[in-house]
Structure 1
Amino acid sequence: MEINPAVTFKHGRKLMFAKRPKVLIVGAGLGGLTLGAILQKSDIPYEIFERAPQVKPLGSAMAFGAATAPMFKQLGIYDEFVALAKFNDSIHFSNEKRQTVYKMEFPNFPDESFSSKLFGADGFIVARPLLYDLMLRQVPTDRIHMNKKVLSTKQGGNGIILRCSDGTEYEGDILVGADGAYSAVRQNLYAELKKADRLPADDALPLPFSTVCLVGQTRCLTAEEFPDIAKENCQFINTLGGDRPYSWSTFTTRQNTVCWGVVLYLDKSSSKLHDSFRNSEWGPEAASAMCEQVKDFPVVSGGVKKLTFQDLINWTPKELISKVMLEEKVFETWYDCRTVLLGDACHKFNPAGGAGAINAMHDAITLGNYINALPHHPTAEEITEAFKAYREERIPWVQEAFDTSKIFRVMASKTILGKIIRFCAKYMPASMQKKSAIRMNANRPQIAFLPKAEDKGLERPAPQTSLSAMTPADEQEDVTPAQAV
């Protein structure tokens, strides 16, 4: 396949075979699957490539609400999502004595009791494996290729080539890197840009991280074992370690399980120690070692019996416990030529703010809108312009989510600044709480080429540029060569 010469047109595109750009998506995580589910609703050809031989149901709980409700409704899966999730309207902050220090309700104002009145949808907690399975079912199995480790990519004016470790090659028009914090697509792209002296210095630096997290999900429990399981709403408990650099959270689910996570906050010296194990420590042995370190941490269960993390660990299948490092960075470079990045590949948040998956999905919505708006037989220049519009629309929201995640991360720490933030949050006036909630739920993007989901929220969603992106059907009948190139 010759990919270097730029495409030129001697005839109007409408007179040519109506070819939509083929999209190669690397990474079958939530971001990649969401983009696949969106493109599945269009006539754009796509394929997804995942390096893992099989999907493992790892992870803890995730929070979703008005920010993703419109997309779920447009894809026809909102009711199924709600059936899997548990209503959540608050976070309980506790100390090591299992005492509630304060309760954060979002929102809880005299004139609007629930998020649905303000933003058109309520907030829910769902186990990550269940949400992943829901999104996986939106993509036909023949569109997903497992055990495909990317070795190299090559792009040019006429297309892109993806080469995998098993010797296979795939051709397309657009390459989307949705393959996580250590994205192979990003590494290949940045290597090309660095060679051409076009890579910003900060993008060449290693990913910084300040926390390590142990997560898991128990088997189904009874109300006798964990009384909070029986409560109608999700019991989201966040506990701050007293004299130790840890915080931990538990979430009750619709399936009567408890999702849990323990976060270790690193200082400069401990960060360097963990950094030396970036590629080797994150396996079953490391998870077992951290389980041993946290087993005596107290757990709030809503009952008289005093549970510890050892109980949660005993109730959790060992293969569902994982240890991960939590990086934090927003990359400056998101695209070049026919290659574009999505989700953790271009912005990695600390999960304290619960913004990672939501922003990956928002990336997929925006990118999907601009890809769908590309003309038939798009040139590399037109594709690059679409990617530029995608980044410009997303970067303000991404930066805001990144900053908010850092605040939540510090808030859960035992630092002086953490104490100040918790004090301010506890005694924040209702007017300020409402203003903050409105800002955090303002971005409620929709898929431009599907029927719009009704949003009955009193607070209207923020403007969305890609919602009015032109589709090929809206193009003028005649396109001159000058316009086409």
Structure 2
Amino acid sequence: MLLHKAGIPFEVYERATEIEPLGASMYFNSTTANFFKFGAGGYILARPQLHALLLRQVPHERVHMGKKVLSIESGDHEVMVRFNDGTEAEGDILVRADGAYSAVFQNLYEKLKRNDKLPPSDAFSFPITHPLTPEEFPDLALHDCQFRKYIDTSIVYAIKDFPIISGGDKILTFQDLMDRTPKIQMTKVMLEEKVFRTWYDCRTVLIGDACHKFNPQGGVGATNAMHDAIVLANLINGLPFHPVAEEIEAAFKAYQDERFQWVLDAFNSSKVHRTMMGQRIQEKTCSYRPQVAFLPLIKNTGRVHPAQQPSLSVQASVKNEEKSAAQSV
């Protein structure tokens, strides 16, 4: 959306053949609501509606579905992506927004590892258990998948029997929600938490879950992915036409420098959010309200002042050249 509004050519390549209406709702708080002109008070939107809203802002011919990435080659002059259908795509910059398990992710990190440029912390993979047996875990032998949460030392619930608050007198369980949910809207969320130290290399840059994965509680992951997009779009907009690799990496570094500490703070606060959200943490989080440098700025409201945003001062190189020419005249 932002690249389109900035007049920067782009193409979107998606592995899925169609976008499924997964997910429940998304809460836009003061750090993202203004971006969508929902108002600083916050707004709740169903995720399928959000997907439709976002797609309407992008020309449909720019979005290519069913494109699985097989390999990537990045050099001083361009980055090339090869897909499973035999097609190729070339460009100045590759923005990776496909999580931590894609071919793009593996390609980038394997290259950095071979060149001894990958920090040890990033080489650590997410924890996956060894094969489990029914003898060790009897629940595996049961027909129904079991999800148990201990409320106290005397009660154990299977997920379908877990009580939920309906606001009425009738006692409902999670099974009632499952019975009322179309199967196409059911999905699994892997509980993974990690902030990577490596966000870019040469002409490839990572955003969202590709460089930081949060506890899903509170929607912190989606919020920070939007913040990534805003800051990165500001800096890409400031690059010259057909930038060289050094200029691109400088912009990527500025992007990570601006976002990294905020991501770490959000990562830590997302852990706190599991149990409670303190007023001090909430105020600091709400102070980060990044805006788009090349769009009309949203008036800041509320008693918490916005935090400094370096990328807000970045102007498109064409505008900078025009300004310099006008001053010289």
Specify the TM-score bucket, using the shorter chain as the normaliser: 0.7 to 0.9
Which residue of structure 1 lines up, in the alignment, with residue 4 of structure 2? 40
**Change beyond 3 A, Cα 1:287–1:55:** farther
1:4-24 CA distance string (max 9 Å, x none): xxxxxxxxxxxxxxxxxxxxx
CA contact (8 A) 1:153 1:160 kept: yes
SS of the residue corresponding to residue 374 of structure 1 reads coil
1:3-53 CA distance string (max 9 Å, x none): xxxxxxxxxxxxxxxxxxxxxxxxxxxxxxxxxx11110111000011011
Instruction: State how far apart, in whole Å, the 2-side matches of 1:389 and 1:287 are.
Output: 52
Which residue of structure 1 lines up, in the alignment, with residue 69 of structure 2? 150
Instruction: State how far apart, in whole Å, the 2-side matches of 1:142 and 1:287 are.
Output: 45
1:224-246 CA distance string (max 9 Å, x none): xxxxxxxxxxxxxxxxxxxxxxx
- Structure (1/2) with the larger strand percentage: 1
Instruction: State how far apart, in whole Å, the 2-side matches of 1:400 and 1:275 are.
Output: 35
Instruction: State how far apart, in whole Å, the 2-side matches of 1:380 and 1:275 are.
Output: 47
SS of the residue corresponding to residue 369 of structure 1 reads helix
CA contact (8 A) 2:33 2:42 kept: no
Cα deviation, residue 287, structure 1 = 12
Match of 1:184 among 96, 103, 122: 103
SS of the residue corresponding to residue 3 of structure 2 reads helix
Matched, 1:166 2:85: yes
Which residue of structure 2 lines up, in the alignment, with residue 473 of structure 1? 318
Instruction: State how far apart, in whole Å, the 1-side matches of 2:252 and 2:272 are.
Output: 30
Instruction: State how far apart, in whole Å, the 1-side matches of 2:132 and 2:258 are.
Output: 34
Consecutive unaligned residues in structure 1, runs of 5 or more: 1-36, 79-119, 209-270, 277-285, 412-421, 426-431, 480-485
Query: What TM-score do the two structures reach when normalised by structure 1?
Result: 0.60
Match of 1:289 among 113, 122, 145: 145
Instruction: State how far apart, in whole Å, the 2-side matches of 1:274 and 1:43 are.
Output: 51
Matched, 1:56 2:20: yes
Which residue of structure 1 lines up, in the alignment, with residue 265 of structure 2? 400
Matched, 1:195 2:117: no
CA contact (8 A) 1:158 1:380 kept: yes
CA contact (8 A) 1:350 1:405 kept: yes
Consecutive unaligned residues in structure 2, runs of 5 or more: 134-141, 149-157, 325-329
Which residue of structure 2 lines up, in the alignment, with residue 357 of structure 1? 222
Matches for 1:289-328 after TM superposition, within 5 Å? 289-290=145-146, 293-328=158-193
* RMSD over equivalenced CA pairs, Å: 2.4
Which residue of structure 1 lines up, in the alignment, with residue 153 of structure 2? none
Match of 1:66 among 30, 47, 55: 30
**Could you tell which deviates more after superposition, 59-68 or 393-402?**
59-68
Cα deviation, residue 457, structure 1 = 2.1
Instruction: State how far apart, in whole Å, the 1-side matches of 2:320 and 2:186 are.
Output: 51
CA contact (8 A) 1:287 1:321 kept: no
1:298-341 CA distance string (max 9 Å, x none): 11111111111111111111221112212111000000111100
CA contact (8 A) 1:329 1:348 kept: yes
Higher relative contact order (CA 8 A, sep 6+): 1
Q: Percent identity?
A: 55
Matched, 1:367 2:263: no
CA contact (8 A) 2:16 2:66 kept: yes
CA contact (8 A) 2:269 2:281 kept: no
Query: What TM-score do the two structures reach when normalised by structure 2?
Result: 0.87
CA contact (8 A) 1:287 1:322 kept: no
